[in-house]
Structure 1
Amino acid sequence: MIAEEQLRNLTDISYQEAGIYENTRFEKIHNVVYDDAHYASSVVAAEIAQLIREREQEGRPCVLGLATGSSPIRVYEELVRLHREEGLSFKNVVTFNLDEYYPMSNQNVQSYHYFMQEYLFKHIDIPEENINIPKGDLEPEEVLEFCVSYEKKIKSYGGLDFQLLGIGRTGHIGFNEPGSHFNSRTRLITLDHLTRSDAAPAFLGIENVPKKAITMGIRTVLDARRVVLLAWGQNKAEIVQKAVEGEITSQVPSTYLQEHDNTTFILDKGAASELTRIKTPWLVGPCEWTTELTRKAVVWLCDKAQKSILRLTDKDYNDNGMEGLLTKEGSSYNLNIKMFNVLQHTITGWPGGKPHADDSNRPERSEPAKKRVIIFSPHPDDDVISMGGTFDRLIEQGHEVHVAYQTSGNIAVSNHEAIKFAEVAGQLSPKETIYKQILESIRANNERGIDAPEVRALKGLIRQKESLGATRYLGLPDEQVHFLKLPFYETGAIKKNPLGREDINIMCSIIEAVKPHQIYAAGDLADPHGTHKVCLDALFGAVDVLKEKEFMKDCWVWLYRGAWHEWDMHEIEMAVPMSPDQVLKKRNAIFFHQSQKDGVMFQGDDSREFWVRAEERNKETAAKYHKLGLADYAAIEAFKRYYF
């Protein structure tokens, strides 16, 4: 059992081992950083469980404030496990949820009522009358009275013992959007556009996301005796840094938590990556200059000083907290040459290795000259969006390339796109009743429902044939294209099943069949509960099962990033340049994915089409290399090696 005092004293051992010490002078909110969001969630669940047991022994209820969204899912799963396997009872627990969309029916699968039942309440022994969630189906004239009564009910139990929070990219806690007052209470609020954009995937489009919500206020949250905020993934890093290190402002409501004397932010490494002690520890205090940290610091200094590597001076290093590094390396001249060569050696036009060449300063082995390669693509377009140029280069250079699409991607096909294909097929085969059934099923089902199996099958076929169009364009034989349809994904809804043994077995089967020298996989971890993360976990699980096999001893794994983020410059271990012609070829390959080209459902807050995002990201990476003093390329795709 992990008590509150222990939780406060926990440190992230991995950072200490990397030479980054726990000096937190920039930080105004206590936080603990973990390698893994799953383990971190179990720590939080253990604290909640201990509190429940303590209150039970005291003979009084345990009053919990609960959050929704992807961040607390693992906490709830662990609480359910503790109930089932260790006898944790919730009979003395009273819960108050933070918020609910408005208007929203309790029965709607997007409602927070539904969410809480699915992830927690229906799996534990909490009395129904002890569950309190804001009502989203009130008449407008009833809202104010409900909000006042919600506050009174919380106070009738003596306030919240423990408040669990997530954080939105606007800095909201609950649905307290920018501009929320320090003393605000439960009320109806208008949602920020960014908040609605982030919710759009769950609603199959931003147009389906409610514009308002009922939320507990800032003051209600701050009145809780204990507050724990969860944040996972790189996409939360910027707002976490503002909340922890910034000035208190209504424009970032989470900064109000700086005024609470018993708050802890529980973070994974992605969410913590913008904190000063992690991003630029040399500005905090003395640090151990590892190879990785040195590279990170030199790239940062080039950007800060607006100089290429070879133009940095002793003064540049000394003026920016790097005097210890300079002392270690002897002079800026020696250090600059060393780091220039490190970055230069990441660049290669031979992603499969240059045959019969000296590979001592190349990112890939020269032998075998012709390699067997598997490109794992979480969705049916990640391969060409994220590494289309490298994909093309591997084929051109004669390697045996296989692409394996891990999921069908069927939920990303809109109903109107499916209707178009069903109508065409129905016209060509008027005697086939299946197409009429598909059309009737789509029209009877609103955009928020779960597709019927035949509709999912059609949508999956649309993605499959688009993928084959792209791979044929790049010159890959059809027999080297594999559609895995991992079972965890095939629910017909945004909510997926947990990764299971069958998923890993499917991954093992294709790896054993191909016996690859290279594996490429999506390492985009912005959303630790997203499909990319689950697909990566499936690969890691398969590698763990197979790693003792003889063929795996000669297999290297390279991770690419998705359409949202690129590897930081200091992280890149292989950079594959593209010519202007190859940039155009990659663009054309992406265009084969027509169902994802215009008005794609999971656009996020970036209005650019995927091909534009990918192209501009690759050009930006090339520009960064050039700015550091290296060659000027049209575009670059970047990779980081995974060591197992």
Structure 2
Amino acid sequence: MEVSIANNSISYKKPGKFEDTRFEKIHNVIFESSHKASILVAQEIANLIREKSALNKLCLLGLATGSSPVKVYEELVRMHKEEGLSFANVVSFNLDEYLPMDRNNIQSYFYFMHEHLFNHVDILPENINIPDGKVSAEDLYQYCIDYEMKIKTLGGLDFQLLGIGRTGHIGFNEPGSHFNSGTRSITLDHITRIDAAPAFLGIDNVPRKAITMGIGTVMSAKRIVLLGWGISKAKILKKTIEGKITSQVPATYLQEHNNTTFVLDSDASSELTRVKTPWLVTSCVWTETLKLKAVVWLSELTDKPFLKLTDKDYNDNGMSSLLTEDGTAYNLNIKMFNKLQHTITGWPGGKPYADDTNRPERATPEKKRVIIFSPHPDDDMISMGGTLDRLVEQGHDVHVAYQTSGNIAVSDEEALKFAEISKSLNSNSTEPENIIKFLKNKTENNIDSIEVRKLKGLIRRSESLAATRYLGVDDSKVHFLDLPFYETGTVKKNNLSDDDIDIMCSLIEHVKPHQIYAAGDLADPHGTHKMCLDSLFLALKKIKHNSYMNDCWVWLYRGAWHEWDPYQIDMAVPMSPDQVLKKRHAIFYHQSQKDGVMFQGDDSREFWVRVEDRNRLTAKKYNDLGLADYAAIEAFKRYHF
């Protein structure tokens, strides 16, 4: 795909035949990564600022908060510092703010904007406009009118940057918002509050109300760019881009704006018709992966196993070109059945002395050195506890590496309990008393002290050791990396540094693994999984020239929020009913994460329940496609580096 900025707007064209987008009602551009996309959006904003400055005009920017625009702001700051981009002519208007919310609160959007952008550029303080989260109830109505009128008086927004919530909200315009709505107060949807809960360390701390620009305010902008990142946004983006205009999905109103672009990464675009089922909209180049994806889709659509699909099924559902390539449904069905069947193995480390031609892993070496990277101190058990158990039982040299301490996921109540126990056991130490005093006097703006973070990290460390011992991993092979990027005491993390990558490289160089397992679950609501995966990829890039890396295979698992689709799976490890129970007990050792876990997401089930259901569902999908009936399956995708 060729992507450029023309007339200060993102444009793109695809070489060769134009891709059929007839289901889509909003212009969108898809990138492999959000990082590259963010740089391009920042360039568009920078060009607009410069153009307005050359004409001696103000540039009115509507700005968004949340995780989506962070990289855009980072690039704008870089351009200011390294390329001389000036914000002296910029007037900014933020979309929204929680209500009530003190501007000095680290969860406020005032704090967010200054932390990520305003403190690092030369924008004039009087040109910064962010809704006041402390405006009184008596003044609120007039305040909203004044905010609206200020935008109109200055000539309207030249550019509006948006994210999108899983309810389809833009700004805080929740379902039910009217097309002509202006700046106003609003009650937040429960899903919106759930999504905000990690930043507030629990949903009980998330405000129920907010001030937001209205749909009408947003629609009056001359140019709108909406950012969509990650698998968790895929379904709502499909509804927004392909569905009908409805107040129940406020972002669909953007279909009527004449200069809007949605900028998506590959995961966020995954539900769009042209991405998920391209054979329905255009002629396809039928790769083996696309064939399997199409046959799985057809099997699920017709509720038939692979081997019962007919020529008519293919022809009736827009897949006649696939049969043209493979002859008959019979031949294609058997081919795809065998392809999926060959992913199933009870030997995740490879079966010794066996023909491995059609197995997902190599037979040799018989005993492999293995590193299982776990972003948090329980992801290994939640996501691949059965496979970990199998690797240990089959005699492989298994190392488990916990990339972060996981301390922010330990509640203050849990930490207080352990501090009080410590005090009673060692009355001469002042440290437990300091922790108790801090926790009892902690306010919403307090970041945990180093002592408290240390205690919370130790709680999770002891739980991890209990679980790995239960599965037979020696303590000497359990590694607590405590990557520095995580140790901020807040949900917001630092960027990865050389120190993080060096720690990862050091362990890999020490073990010289034949297998690496890592979390490829990017639906993690607080982003740690992605940063941990990035740290691995950067480490692999740095050391891949070493000879021992030629024998290293990388397998990606997914966590509690999402699972690989059958066509994506390269290795499926079945579990017996007994092994399902053993995995459950291993998860139970992570007691601080049971009974009211802090980062629950929008699923009220505990992690052990949702992961058991997910493993059973994967097994059921395999069975529905015509393969053997297992109690549960853990799934992995191979990463080629």
State whether TM-score is above 0.5: yes
- Matching residue of 2:578: 581
Aligned equivalent of 2:160, options 160, 163, 173: 163
**Other-structure match for 2:405:** 408
Give the aligned partner of residue 245 of structure 1. 242
Structure 2, unaligned runs of 5 or more: none
1:126-165 aligned within 5 A: 126-165=123-162
Of residues 250, 253, 257 in structure 2, which corresponds to 1:256? Answer: 253
- The residue number in structure 2 matching 1:523 is 520
Question: For 1:607, which of 569, 593, 604 is the aligned residue?
Answer: 604
2:533 alignment partner in structure 1: 536
The alpha carbon displacement at 1:23 in A equals: 1.2
Q: How far off is 1:10 after superposition? A: 1.9
Name the SS of the counterpart of 1:147 in structure 2: helix
Q: SS at the partner of 1:599? A: coil
CA–CA distance in 1 between the matches of 2:183 and 2:308?
A: 56
Whichever residue aligns with residue 38 of structure 2, its letter is S
Please point out which of 263, 267, 272 is paired with 2:269. Answer: 272
CA–CA separation in structure 1 for the residues paired with 2:120 and 2:356: 56
- The residue identity in structure 2 corresponding to 1:176 is N
Q: Write out per-residue CA displacement over residues 129-174 of structure 1, whole angstroms, 9 at most, x where no aligned residue.
A: 0000000001111110100000110011100000000000000000
* 1:627-638 correspondence to structure 2 within 5 Å: 627-638=624-635
Contact 1:408/1:464 (8 A) holds in 2: yes
Alignment of 1:292-371 (within 5 A): 292-371=289-368
Shift of 1:473: 0.4
Give 1:386-401 correspondences, 5 Å limit: 386-401=383-398
Using the aligned pairs only, state the percent identity. 69
Name the structure 1 match of 2:212. Answer: 215
Q: 3-state DSSP class of the match of 1:374?
A: strand
Q: CA deviation at 1:595?
A: 0.3
1:364-383 CA-partner distances (Å, limit 9, x unpaired): 00000000000000000000
Other-structure match for 1:9: 11
8 Å CA contact 1:231–1:266 kept in 2: the answer is: yes
1:442 deviation in Å?
1.1
Distance 1:410 1:475, change over 3 A: same
1:594 matched to 2:591? The reply is yes
Classify 1:528/1:30 alpha carbon distance in 2 versus 1 (closer, same or farther; 3 Å). Answer: farther
Q: Deviation of residue 213 (structure 1)?
A: 0.2
Deviation at 1:185, TM superposition (A): 0.2
Preserved CA contact (<8 Å) 1:522 1:560: yes
Distance 1:411 1:440 in 2: 18
The 3-state SS of whatever aligns with 2:458 is helix
1:55 aligned residue (41, 52, 55): 52
Q: Give, in whole Å, the separation in 2 of the partners of 1:372 and 1:592.
A: 25
**Correspondence for 2:436:** 439
Determine the C-alpha separation between the residues in 1 that align with 2:14 and 2:569: 24
Look up the match of 1:108: 105
Letter of the aligned partner of 1:211 in structure 2?
R
* Cα distance in 1, alignment partners of residues 565 and 4 from structure 2: 35
Cα distance change on mapping 1:75 and 1:631 into 2, 3 Å: same
Q: Distance in 2 between matches of 1:196 and 1:447?
A: 17
SS of alignment partner, residue 615 of structure 1: helix
Spell out, residue by residue over 1:330-380, the C-alpha distance to the aligned partner (whole angstroms, 9 max, x if none). Answer: 000000000000000000000000001000000000000000000000000
Partner-residue secondary structure (3-state), 1:228: strand
CA contact (8 A) 1:2 1:46 kept: no
Question: Which residue number in structure 1 is paired with residue 372 of structure 2?
Answer: 375
Please name the residue that 2:288 is paired with.
Answer: 291
Task: For 1:465 and 1:403, locate their aligned partners in 2 and report how far apart those are by CA, in whole Å.
Answer: 14
Shift of 1:4: 3.8
Verify: 1:641 aligned to 2:638, yes or no: yes
* 1:395 counterpart letter in structure 2: V
Q: Distance in 2 between matches of 1:323 and 1:6?
A: 43
CA gap of 1:12–1:569, structure 2 versus 1, over 3 A, is farther
2:524–2:561 CA contact under 8 A, matched in 1: no
Question: Does the aligned pair in 1 maintain the 2:231–2:270 contact within 8 Å?
Answer: yes
In structure 2, give the amino acid aligned to 1:416: E
- Measure how far apart 1:285 and its partner are: 1.8
Classify the secondary structure of the residue corresponding to 1:559.
Answer: strand
Segments of 5+ residues of structure 1 without an aligned counterpart are: none
Does the CA-based 8 Å contact 2:491-2:526 persist in structure 1? no
- Deviation (angstroms), 1:529: 6.9
Pair 21,439 (structure 1): closer, same or farther in 2 beyond 3 Å? farther
Mark the CA change 1:460 to 1:393 in structure 2 (over 3 Å): closer, same or farther. same
Kindly indicate whether the alpha-carbon contact (under 8 Å) linking 2:8 and 2:44 is maintained by their aligned counterparts in 1: no
Q: Secondary structure at the match of 2:151?
A: helix
Provide the rounded CA distance (Å) in 2 between the counterparts of 1:23 and 1:547.
40
Asked if 1:455 corresponds to 2:452, the answer is: yes
In the TM superposition, residue 5 of structure 1 has moved relative to its aligned partner by 4.9
Alpha-carbon distance between aligned partners in 1 of 2:72 and 2:473, rounded to the nearest angstrom? 44
Q: Which amino acid aligns with 2:230?
A: G
Q: Distance in 2 between matches of 1:488 and 1:561?
A: 22
Q: Secondary structure at the match of 2:217?
A: helix
What is the CA–CA distance in structure 1 between the aligned matches of 2:390 and 2:147, rounded to whole Å?
61
Take 2:452 and 2:123, find their aligned partners in 1: how far apart are those partners?
38
Once residues 480 and 205 of structure 1 are traced to their aligned partners in structure 2, the CA distance between those partners, rounded to angstroms, is: 34
Match among 625, 637, 641 for residue 622 of structure 2: 625
